[in-house]
Amino acid sequence: MRRSKNIPFDPVTDTGIVLHQIITLAIWCVPNYYLVTKDHYNTERLLPSIGVLAAVMFCFYTFQLAINRPNGYHYAMWIKLVGPCGSIALNYFKNQA
C-alpha cells in the first residue's frame, strides 16, 4: 500500500513492518511446533512449511519495494501469483500426511 501511494522507503517504518511480519511468523510457528510434535504428526513437514511461509512473506515485501520502479505494476502481479503458489505448497505439505 505504501509503495502504490509513492511513499518513499523509510528505514524506521519499513523495518517495523518487517519485524511485525517476523513476529507474526514466530507466533504462528510456536503453537504449530507444539501441536505437531505433541502427537508426532508429520514433523518432517514442519520446517518446509515454515520455510514456504517465510519465503512468501519475503517475496511479498521484496516485490512491494520494487513497485515504485518503472513498470512497477508488474511486480504487483507477481505478488498476486506468489500468494496462491505459497498456498498450493502449504496444502501439498498438509496432504502428504
DSSP string, 7-34: PPP-HHHHHHHHHHHHHHHHHHHHHHHH
Sort 20 into a burial class: Cβ within 10 Å, 0-12 / 13-18 / 19+.
Answer: exposed
User: Does the global pTM surpass 0.75?
Assistant: no
Question: Consecutive sets of 10 residues in the chain, 97 residues long: mean pLDDT of each?
Answer: 66 78 82 70 73 84 76 78 84 70
pLDDT at 87: 84
Domain ranges of the chain: 11-95
pLDDT at 40 (0 to 100)? 66
Which pLDDT belongs to residue 84? 86
